[in-house]
Amino acid sequence: MADTKVFAVANQKGGVGKSTSTYCIGAGLAAKGKRVLLIDADPQGDLSKMLGLRQPNQLNMTLSSVMDAVVSNRELTRHPEIRHHKEGFDFIPANRSLSAVEIGLVNVMSRETVLREYLNTVKSDYDYVLMDCRPSLGMLVINALSAADYVLVPVQADYLAAEDMTELVNTVQSIRRQINPGLQIGGVFLTMVSETTFRREVAESVRNQFGKRIPVLRTSIPATVRLAEISTADKSIFLHDPRGKAAQAYENLVKEVLNIGTKERVRPADLGR
């Protein structure tokens, strides 16, 4: 059996770098020869736009089509929803029809595991699957968490809301208890770190407040216009500004992601010193 690792990139706070990080981590893993599938699980379709599909609402085959198929027990044989990106990974786009699917899930049996059921039909072709979540803790995010092995949590460096983190951790715990016992927090990492951010203090504060429950990754992502530019550049940071500090940071983050779930992994308490 393939040893696929499935990650949900989640934080219910908006604009913290989920989509940007999903793209850059995915491109980085692909550059290392991994077979990667990125899933846009946000009806805003931001990841799909970044990946070159500027008008996701005009697409027919998206994540909502396949979730719909699972809900109505239609068998999926070919997979036209999966597209190939020139940077060497596959992806599934999303658009606003995913909102309707999310609302419709209320009346569905096993409504928390529709995405997992779909993923089980395709994930053996991949080493890594990364799901870009919408900024909420609603049913789509619950579906992503139910399908995931690990959650990656980007946190905006200047804004650490303890309440948000507590809510996210509680959601992860209740999903672990009720639906997906294998789910773990792969790590929290800081994004949009400016010259003036006291990175160490924010990292320390995450660690103090959540203790051993949440590993804080060593890498933090700098705030730079070069990263803001990739949403329209049709390139990940590795092609857009390969020698810049953001490419270096995502390269380091990719190495940490590769370590998640391996025995060599440093214990959370030892990180970030």
Ligand X SMILES: Nc1ncnc2c1ncn2[C@@H]1O[C@H](COP(=O)(O)OP(=O)(O)OP(=O)(O)O)[C@@H](O)[C@H]1O
Interface residues toward ligand X, by CB under 6 A = 14-20, 42, 46, 135, 191-192, 221, 223-224, 227-228, 231
DSSP bridge partners of 150: 7, 184
How many residues bind Mg ion (CB under 5 A)? The answer is 3
Closest separation in Å from C-beta 270 to ligand X: 26
User: Within positions 2 to 21, which residues make up the interface with Mg ion, using CB under 5 A?
Assistant: 18-19
Of the two residues 28 and 272, which places its CB atom closer to Mg ion in the complex?
Answer: 28
Task: Residue 191: name its binding partner from ligand X, Mg ion, none (Cβ under 5 to 8 Å by kind).
Answer: ligand X
Of the two residues 19 and 180, which places its CB atom closer to Mg ion in the complex?
Answer: 19
Closest CB to Mg ion belongs to which residue? 19
Of the two residues 75 and 163, which places its CB atom closer to ligand X in the complex?
Answer: 163
Closest separation in Å from C-beta 241 to ligand X: 12
User: Within positions 45 to 84, which residues make up the interface with Mg ion, using CB under 5 A?
Assistant: 46
Of the two residues 42 and 127, which places its CB atom closer to ligand X in the complex?
Answer: 42
What kind and span of H or E run contains 133?
A: strand 128-133
Q: Which long-range contacts (CB under 8 A, 24 or more apart) does 224-232 make?
A: 227/17, 227/20, 227/24, 230/20, 230/23, 230/24, 230/50, 231/19, 231/20, 231/46, 231/49, 231/50
- Binding segment (CB under 5 A) for Mg ion, from list 38-46, 189-197, 216-224, 246-254: 38-46
What DSSP assignment string belongs to 60-74? SSSHHHHHHHHHTT-
95 lines the binding site for Mg ion (CB under 5 A) = no
Of the two residues 44 and 220, which places its CB atom closer to Mg ion in the complex?
Answer: 44
Q: What order of strands is seen across the sheet that includes strand 128-133?
A: 83-84, 90-92, 36-41, 128-133, 5-9, 150-156, 184-193, 216-222
Closest separation in Å from C-beta 231 to ligand X: 4
What DSSP assignment string belongs to 157-219? TT---HHHHHHHHHHHHHHHHHT-TT-EEEEEEEEEE-TT--HHHHHHHHHHHHGGGSPEEEE
The residues that touch Mg ion, with contacts defined as CB under 5 A, are: 18-19, 46
